[in-house]
Amino acid sequence: MDNVLQAIKDIVLIAVPIITAYITYRTNKKSKKELNAELEVRLKEQDNETANEIKKMQKQLEVQNMQSSWENSTPTTQKYIDEAGIKRYGNVSSLTPLVSQIYQEFQNKNLDVEDLKTLKKMLLSIQLPAEDEELYPYEIPKLMEYKKLLRYIDKLIANLEANN
């Protein structure tokens, strides 16, 4: 009986570490699903990195295109300035931000009739090319917005005077 117990003890002493090692191995072994999930996460990370690199490259390309466009348009702009004159160029090129700023003023504040008349007088004092003289294609959209603004101011003045 002692021999049997001793044999069982010996078997248990040998078997327990083997069974423990086997169980540890099986629990630490990753399943196919876990490996696929881990692989999918890594692939998404790489896709994101690739997308970021592509975005960086696109931005660099946009900057290069803008620089190229600027370099190509600079001679054209300089030719226009030479032909039209610095004062005319400055007055026409300043129309877009001026018109935009005036429209913002209309939205922000209530202007009375006198303010509108003063504004119109100041706008008309800007030296711009006349409609009957030669115009450059660059000038036409800016002058159209300027004319629209003047008509809008006229309507505002007429409405305010009609209400008074």
DSSP 68-119: HHHHHHHHHHHHHHHHH-HHHHHHHHTHHHHHHHHHHHHHHS---HHHHHHH
- Residue 154, token pair as written in the block: 């006229």
* Band (122; pLDDT cuts 50, 70, 90): very high
pLDDT higher at 67 or 107: 107
Q: Please name the residues in contact with 157: beta carbons below 8 A apart, sequence gap of 6 or more.
A: 113, 116, 117, 120
Question: Which amino acid appears at position 88 of this protein?
Answer: R
Angle at 20 between CA 31 and CA 29, to 5 degrees: 15
Q: Among positive and negative, which fits the CA dihedral 48, 53, 57, 59?
A: positive
Question: Which amino acid appears at position 16 of this protein?
Answer: V
pLDDT higher at 106 or 82: 106
Render pLDDT for 8-56 as a digit per residue (tens, 0 to 9): 777 777 877 787 877 777 777 666 777 678 878 888 888 888 888 888 8
The alpha carbon torsion through 121, 122, 126, 130 (nearest 10 deg) reads -20
pLDDT higher at 75 or 5: 5
- Per-residue pLDDT at 73: 58
Residue in 86, 88, 99 with CA at minimum distance from that of residue 146: 99
pLDDT higher at 26 or 123: 123
Is 121's pLDDT higher than 90? yes
Is 71's pLDDT higher than 60? no
- Per-residue pLDDT at 77: 65
Token look-up 């209530």 returns 110
- Regarding pTM above 0.85, the answer is no
- Per-residue pLDDT at 68: 62
Average confidence score pLDDT of the chain: 80
Question: Which amino acid appears at position 21 of this protein?
Answer: A
Render pLDDT for 94-104 as a digit per residue (tens, 0 to 9): 888 888 889 88
- Per-residue pLDDT at 158: 92
